[in-house]
């Protein structure tokens, strides 16, 4: 079994004329979207190099995303506030696991 760490970063400045009053709500919507993308936490591996795609006889699965502030977020937000920026950053980490199927010679 192989594993891969996936680091995801996203941000919002809000949608109300640059004031940033709804940036938290927009960020929460992106959190929900990310959680929806990751559910269910598994799928079958497919070979899309041919038409129609072929089942590779293996699966791929992942952990629930760990969502938090972006690394260095507190310092960045202080700098942004002093510059009048309204962006809020978010960081998520997912670990993906998979088996490589045996290659037939």
Segment 60-96, tens digit of pLDDT: 999 999 998 766 555 555 555 555 556 788 899 999 9
To which residue do tokens 């202080």 refer? 78
Q: How many CA atoms lie within 13 A of 95 on its CB side?
A: 5
The answer to whether 88 touches 23, Cβ cutoff 8 Å, is yes
- What rounded mean pLDDT belongs to the chain? 83
What is the token pair recorded at 21?
């009053």
Give the residue extent of every domain in the chain. 2-98
**pLDDT tens per residue across span 37-59:** 999 999 998 999 999 999 988 89
Q: Is the peptide bond before 40 cis (omega within 30 degrees of 0)?
A: yes
Q: Which pTM value belongs to this model? A: 0.73
What is the token pair recorded at 98?
């998979």
């Amino acid at each position: 079994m192989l594993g891969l760490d996936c680091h995801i970063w996203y941000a919002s400045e809000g949608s109300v004329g640059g004031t940033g009053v709804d940036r938290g709500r927009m960020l929460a919507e992106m959190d929900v979207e990310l959680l929806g993308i990751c559910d269910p936490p598994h799928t079958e591996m497919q070979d899309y190099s041919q038409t129609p795609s072929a089942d590779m006889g293996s699966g791929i699965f992942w952990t629930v995303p760990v969502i938090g502030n972006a690394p260095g977020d507190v310092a960045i937000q202080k700098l942004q506030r002093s510059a009048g920026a309204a962006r809020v950053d978010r960081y998520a980490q997912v670990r993906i696991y998979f088996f490589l199927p045996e290659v037939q010679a």
